[in-house]
Amino acid sequence: MFLGLDSSTQSLSAVILDPASGEILASHSVNFGNDLPQYGSPSGFIPGGKDGEVHANPLMWLEALDLLFNKLSKEADLSQIQIIAGSGQQHGSVYLGAGFDAALSKLDAGKGLVEQLSPELTRNTSPIWMDTSTGEECAEITAALGGSSEVCARSGSVAIERFTGPQIRRFSKQDGEAYSATTRIHLVSSFIASVLAGKSLPIDYGDGAGMNLLNLADLAWDTDLLEATAPDLGNKLLPPASCLEQQGTVSAYFTEKYGVPSSCKVCPFTGDNPASLVGMGATTPGQVVISLGTSDTFFAAMPDAKTDPQGFGHVFGNPAGGFMSLICFRNGSLAREAIRDELGVDWSAFEKGALQLTELSAGKNLTLPFYGAEITPRHDFGSPVTEFIEEPTPALRIRSLLEGQFLNMKLHSAWMGVTTDRIRLTGGASKNDGIAQLVADVFQAPVERLDVANSAALGTALIAATVGGNDLEALQKIFCKPAPDSLLQPNPALAGKYSTALEQFGKLLAATIGA
Ligand code: XUL
């Protein structure tokens, strides 16, 4: 049996699977808001942060770990677990003092993790990925390196507010004393992995690439970026590693308390997005994942560490080797809901039948589909910009907005230089056949829908099984199956129309944002 964990923004989840039977034996989740209300973090972070700060309490993650193992041990025979892998929400950081590793090595199973590890924190809270407070630090790091294209070429992303390097810099400037007392900085992922292993484990390449500190060319911390970020930073980080390199066995704490065997191996944890790439069965180049949520995300495997010349996309390590892209679009369901409400229609107007009625107008009318600020491209649009050659009926406005969303995705993922052989669509709106068909038509690639409740936890359980000697691709065929009858083929008759539309969309965008 193999255990995968994912410590995300709102919950800590576990999946236990058996590759031999092809079955998921147990899955469990601790919801921080509902199950640990004493931390006052209904959505997993401390509300009311100032100046763009969004922090979480790392003790909440520890308490969730005890709670999760407690629940799991009642549901499954944990003595059968051979390997544990895992992931965490990306970019969040935990600050620890000189006694951390010693405390980990002598955890007492008679006590809880919180009471034993809280004295080792040098910072009570952890900035997480929602934090936007580090604009000044991003500018300073960028200037020190001689420009954003240099930061991007080295680390896979321009300096970004939520990324860990700028966050560390802000802490070192704000509280130099606490920063100096910090001897180890962990990501959420490596923090949880370390507690499980009873010693500090390295940050993995997948998650480490979300720090603006990892040099993608040599997969080592970049000395110039370290220096531009904060004093003595290199000594506070362990050298990065692959999440496929197991790093010793589980701490006696988990053996005595929950029955995990002392022979159980622990791997470095990765980021939730790299783990999702695995859980969505998309680790080979050519496979693209589009997740339709409040924001939309596009991620895909890449053989080489290419970076986005415009600096909107990010490059992380792919757990299966090579790299992956991650591109976030703020105006996902936000925009779909905005036009729905503006036109006073319901979701049936977005369904396949409704969209088919306007198919003759495919690609004819353009919409820059942004209500307010967007991050890809970075621009505050205020409201959508349209260029219609037909009467803008509600049906045509919906078609044009959706086309605009996926043309924008296609335009801003072209830098990867990877052909799209198959798209795996997930997230709430993926169930809508009309939207899914439009994705297939704009990208001219088949679309499959995957309804995986927690693709990151599943992905890490697959990583654990792979480390245990199983073939990842074979596992993905079993565990990452598309929903039955969910395959949609592109309509080849629309290929020419959408390639013209893509060109025109690019021109309208450039004219609007002055690029
Ligand atoms: C990725 C990002 C989020 C977090 C939380 O860059 O910020 O997806 O990983 O899930």
In this predicted model, what pLDDT tens digit does every residue of 276-301 receive, in sequence order? 999 999 999 999 999 998 899 999 99
Q: Where are the domains of the chain?
A: 2-274, 281-451+484-515
pLDDT > 90 fraction of the chain, expressed in percent and rounded: 95
Model confidence at 245, pLDDT cuts 50, 70, 90, reads very high
> Matching CATH topology for 2-274 and 281-451+484-515?
yes
Q: Are 140 and 161 in contact (CB under 8 A)?
A: no
pLDDT tens per residue, range 143-197: 999 999 999 999 999 999 999 999 999 999 999 999 999 999 999 999 999 999 9
Cβ of residue 90 lying under 6 Å from some atom of ligand 1: yes
The arithmetic mean of pLDDT across residues 310-330, rounded, is 96
Residue 453: pLDDT above 80? Answer: no
Ligand 1 mean position, distance from CA 159 (Å): 15
Fold of 2-274: Nucleotidyltransferase; domain 5 (3.30.420)
Give the C-alpha distances (Å, rounded to integers) separating 417 from 249, 290, 317.
40, 17, 17
Residue to substitute in 8, 204, 272 for testing ligand 1 pocket (most ligand atoms within 8 angstroms of CB): 272
Rounded average pLDDT over 489-505? 98
The answer to whether the CB of 11 is under 6 A from ligand 1 is no
- How many CB atoms are located within 10 Å of the residue 379 CB? 16
Name the CATH architecture for the domain at 281-451+484-515.
2-Layer Sandwich (3.30)
Least confident of 101-105, 303-307, 470-474: 303-307
Q: Assess whether pLDDT exceeds 80 at residue 141.
A: yes
CA angle 253, 62, 276 (to 5 degrees): 105
89 lines ligand 1 (CB under 6 A): yes
Atom of ligand 1 nearest to the CA of 314: 6
Say yes or no to pLDDT of 440 above 70: yes
515 has a pLDDT exceeding 70: no
Average pLDDT over residues 1-17: 97
Cβ of 425 less than 6 Å from ligand 1: no
**How many angstroms separate the CA atoms of 511 and 490, rounded?**
30
Segment 39-55 mean pLDDT: 96
- Which pair of structure tokens corresponds to residue 117? 């590890």
Give pLDDT tens digits for 392-412.
Answer: 999 999 999 999 999 999 999
Q: Tens of pLDDT along 461-492?
A: 999 999 999 999 999 999 999 988 889 999 99
- Computed over every residue of the chain, the mean pLDDT equals 96
Quick check: CB of 273 below 6 Å from ligand 1?
yes
Percentage of residues of the chain with pLDDT beyond 70: 100
Q: pLDDT band for 428, please (50, 70, 90 cuts).
A: confident
Distance CA 186, CA 168 (A): 11
Q: Which pLDDT does position 294 carry in this prediction? A: 87
In short, whether 187's Cβ falls inside 6 Å of ligand 1 is no
SS (H, E, C) 175-224: CHHHHHHCCEEEEHHHHHHHHHHCCCCCCEHHHHHHHCCEECCCCEECHH
Q: Which of 285, 497, 513 is nearest to 379 (CA)?
A: 513
What gap in Å lies between CA 141 and CA 212, rounded to an integer? 9
Q: Which amino acid is at 328?
A: C
Is pLDDT at 436 greater than 90 in this prediction? Answer: yes
| pLDDT reading at 336 higher than 80 | yes
